[in-house]
Structure 1
Amino acid sequence: MNSAVHDNSARNRFELDINGQVVFANYERRGSTLIIRYVEAPPPLRGTGAADTLMRGVAQIARAEGRTLTPLCSYANVWFRRHREYRDLVA
C-alpha cells in the first residue's frame, strides 16, 4: 500500500491512492484551520484501514504546517477521539 497522502488543492481534498483507488478527505481552509468536511473510501477499501492511513497523513501534514483541524465529518470526529496523540490538532 502506498501511504503517501497528498494535498490536491485544486479539488480541496487530501488524497491517498491505493492501487488506483482514491481515499479522500474534502476540506476547507479558514486561516490556519483545516475544516474536514467529508472522508470517503471506495467500497473495496472500506474496513481495510485505508481511511485511517489517510487521516494519519492529514494529521501529520497539519502538524508540519502548524495548522489545526476541525472535523465536521462523523468519521473524522470519531477518528480524533480514538487517536488522542493527535487531539492537540483539533480546534
Structure 2
Amino acid sequence: MGKAKGAPAARQNWGSVRDNPEFSRFELDIDGETALAYYRIDNDVMVFTSTQTPPALQGQGVASELIRNALEFARARGLKVRGDCSFVADYLRRHPEGAD
C-alpha cells in the first residue's frame, strides 16, 4: 500500500538540497517529487524569485527546509539574500537571523 496523498513524507525519505546552477534553482527531492526555489544573482545578492512545492508535499515544512538550506548556501558564498518571492519574504520575516 502506498503513502496516502497529503500524508507527511518521513524526513528520512528527504534527499539533500542541491543547487542546480544551470537552471538557477535549488532542488529537494522527496518520494519522487521535487520542490524548487528559483533564484538569480545580482552582484553580491542572491534574489529568490519563486518557490514551487508539489501539492503532495505542501504543509510539511518542505519549502522551509529548502529555503533554510538555500540561505546557508548563499551565506557560505558570501552572498546577501533577498526574497522577491512571497514565501521567501515571509520566511525571512519569521526567521530574521537569515535576513540582511
Of the three residues 55, 58, 68, the one matched with 1:43 is 55
Between the aligned partners of 1:28 and 1:82, the Cα distance in structure 2 is 22
Q: Aligned pairs, how many?
A: 88
Question: 1:27-76: CA deviations, max 9, x gaps?
Answer: 11112211100011000101010001001001110111110111100011
Identity %: 35
1:3 Cα shift? 4.9
Provide the C-alpha distance between the structure 1 equivalents of 2:62 and 2:56, rounded to a whole number of angstroms.
10
Q: Is 2:85 the partner of 1:81?
A: no
Q: State the Cα distance separating 1:84 from its structure 2 match.
A: 1.6
Structure 1 residues 83 and 16 mapped into 2: Cα distance closer, same or farther (>3 Å)?
same
Q: Name the CA distance, whole Å, in 1 between partners of 2:99 and 2:33.
A: 28
List runs of 5+ in structure 1 lacking aligned partners. Answer: none
Contact residue 36 and residue 70 of structure 1 kept, 8 A: yes
Query: Hey, which bits of structure 1, 4+ residues long, moved more than 6 A?
Result: none
Q: TM-score, normalised to structure 2's length?
A: 0.82
- Contact 2:81–2:99 (Cα < 8 Å) also in 1: no
1:5 aligns with 2:40: no
Cα RMSD (Å) of the superposition?
A: 1.1
Deviation at 1:18, TM superposition (A): 1.0
- Structure 2: state its 5+ residue gaps: 1-10
Give the residue type in structure 2 aligned to 1:67. Answer: L
Residue 77 of structure 2 corresponds to: 65
TM-score in terms of structure 1 length: 0.90
